[in-house]
Amino acid sequence: MSEANKVSAAYGAEQIQVLEGLEPVRKRPGMYIGTTGPRGLHHLVYEVVDNSVDEALAGHCSEILVHLGEDGSATVSDNGRGIPTDVHSRTGKSALETVMTVLHAGGKFGSGGYKVSGGLHGVGISVVNALSEWVEVEVRRQGQVHHQRFERGVPIGSLVSEPDSSGRTGTTVSFKPDIEIFSGGIAFDYHTLSGRLRELAYLNGGVKIVFRDEREAARSPSGEAHEEIYLYEGGIKEYVAYMNTDKDPLHPDIIYVNSEKDGVQVEAALQWCVDAYSDSILGFANNIRTVDGGTHIEGLKTVLTRTLNTFARKRGKRKEAEGNLAGENIREGLTAVLSVKVPEPEFEGQTKTKLGNTEVRGIVDNLVGEALSEYLEFNPGVIDLILEKAIQAFNAAEAARRARELVRRKSVLESSTLPGKLADCSSRDPRESEIYIVEGDSAGGSAKQGRDRRFQAILPLRGKILNIEKTDDAKIYKNTEIQALITGLGLGIKGEDFNESALRYHRIVIMTDADVDGAHIRTLILTFFFRYQRMLLEGGYIYIACPPLYKVERGKNHTYCYNEQDLKKTLDAFPEKANYTIQRFKGLGEMMPKQLWETTMDPETRTMKRVEIEDAAEADRIFTILMGDKVAPRREFIETHSAELDFAQLDI
């Protein structure tokens, strides 16, 4: 019998695998948390925190404590009602054990305990339990304190209860991620967590979130844990104020909307700034950041365009014969946060971060339109300032129209329309294609000769590109290097929705010299991507190449070192006063094509860093500080963070 027939004959009932309890989660963790890398690891904390936030949304919780332990564990405590502990009729177990061990069990389904809930798409605390080495839960409710421990999803003993005279209520969940699942490590990143916790505090005004890191105690001179408190009574109004800290507001008041219709709560905060040439709109649905937009964002954009054009006619800013101001003109300089709470949210897209509820579009349009119109009627000076900026943007866009249309007409499929300096790859499949953006013809020459022409393209840029942070559209589209980036990558027009199908490469690699000028050029390119087409960063398309700094030769052997630590480790391994030579690469152009390939471009040996945005508001603020017009905030930022830098390594 052939091997194929043996396999076929053996395929019967016994080959059908039945996974019980939380086994499916441990078997295929990626299906439940997306990845077992850092993003999935932090997802566990968010899931537990979101349960506490849901208690706050329901009006039963005012304080949440998130605590990182020295042993790698995380603890989330709240002063809510506490998870129910009575016996569940269907499972025969306590409600606590049920929600900890049964997938999709909780108070967020049907007409349960929550009108609106966030969470990360109903993953549930049971998934946290399944993917942790251990979990300990303490519940205080109805004059008793209850404890139960779980190990890799399995209850260790039954629920233990005893009288509690403290008068407190709430839930405390402690867990340690399982190293068997998160093979890349289980160390939580402080900045990643603090960004999300700060965001949640802004989105839920009045809820106090305390973030404590015990791991810092051992490294701190005082021996105390690092602690931050996030409490924003002004909610998303304070969020917008934070994002605009280092900008010049066009009007002092933040326009605020907070209303409800058909069970959908809509909260919006808007403020235009003088010194900004793009908009920054953050959308949330049930506390989930909707990076791909959705019906709520569509409703906001529609009502802004219609309302401001109506006021433009009413106040004589636009004549009847003149066309309407475009949406991107009106939104220029706008910072906005839109948060909707939807009883039955529908998420779309591969990453499930696009709101799909069609009814929300009209509700946002209606509620924001009413509140915005009322505010502007009573504040004519504000509407005049906004309209003047929008008209300036319209005029600048008209001045750049020919350049824009030239970009729009260029087909990404016809190589004749691509930049002449682009050395394209032979593959026409964007998913396997990558492009290296390099500085100068010298580095470009080495990269073109050293690359794999099948899937690697090279685009050399001459000098430093425009700082798009303080440049209007007219200058952007007239700039040769910017034109090369737009047409070479297939980016389309600024302000249009991101079109992945038009993107010519799914890996866009910034490869600059390892010196101060190279770092500046890299920052300018990142600023362009962030302001022109942010979805490139949020979608994970942008990478940073990591070329070596040194080549150490000893006899016939050589080693490449990518930083000072690598160099020290290599030299320490040599016998005392051994003969060796060190070559310091001042620029990519100094490297032979073969060297550049084997150290920086060969997929088998290279190291690349993917650029991601965990905290969009913080990224927006940092780009404004570093690349904006104001010198004082930039100086303060540099002075504040200078202690973190090793000036001995600066190549000046």
Q: Mapping DSSP to helix (H, G, I), strand (E, B) and coil, where does residue 559 land?
A: strand
Q: Considering 47, 332, 513, 620, which one is annotated as catalytic?
A: 513
513 catalytic per annotation: yes
**Token digits for 184?**
């890349």
The helix (run of H) or strand (run of E) holding residue 209 is strand 208-213
Contact (Cβ atoms closer than 8 angstroms) between residue 289 and residue 120:
no
Taking each helix axis from N to C end, the angle separating 380-399 and 295-314, rounded to the nearest 10 degrees, works out to: 100
Q: Mapping DSSP to helix (H, G, I), strand (E, B) and coil, where does residue 91 land?
A: coil
Q: Considering 228, 346, 348, 517, which one is annotated as catalytic?
A: 517
Give the number of other Cβ atoms within 10 Å of residue 410's Cβ: 17
Q: Considering 47, 292, 332, 439, which one is annotated as catalytic?
A: 439
Distance CA 274, CA 250 (A): 5
CA dihedral sign, ordered 65, 287, 80, 233: positive
Distance CA 211, CA 201 (A): 11
Contact (Cβ atoms closer than 8 angstroms) between residue 105 and residue 130:
no
Contact (Cβ atoms closer than 8 angstroms) between residue 304 and residue 274:
no
**Token digits for 581?**
């030579």
The helix (run of H) or strand (run of E) holding residue 564 is helix 564-572
Distance CA 71, CA 215 (A): 8
Of 53, 80, 327, nearest in space to 196 by CA: 53
Q: 159 — alpha (psi -120 to 50), left (phi > 0) or beta?
A: beta
Residue whose token pair is 């927006």: 620
Taking each helix axis from N to C end, the angle separating 516-532 and 616-627, rounded to the nearest 10 degrees, works out to: 130
Distance CA 325, CA 41 (A): 45
553 catalytic per annotation: no
Residue whose token pair is 């016998």: 575
Backbone angles phi, psi at 188, to 5 degrees: -75, 140
Distance CA 499, CA 292 (A): 11
Distance CA 211, CA 193 (A): 9
439 catalytic per annotation: yes
Distance CA 39, CA 29 (A): 12
Q: Considering 472, 515, 566, 651, which one is annotated as catalytic?
A: 515
DSSP assignment of 145-167, as one string? EEEEEEETTEEEEEEEEEE--S-
Of 365, 254, 392, nearest in space to 306 by CA: 365
Which residues are designated catalytic?
439, 513, 515, 517
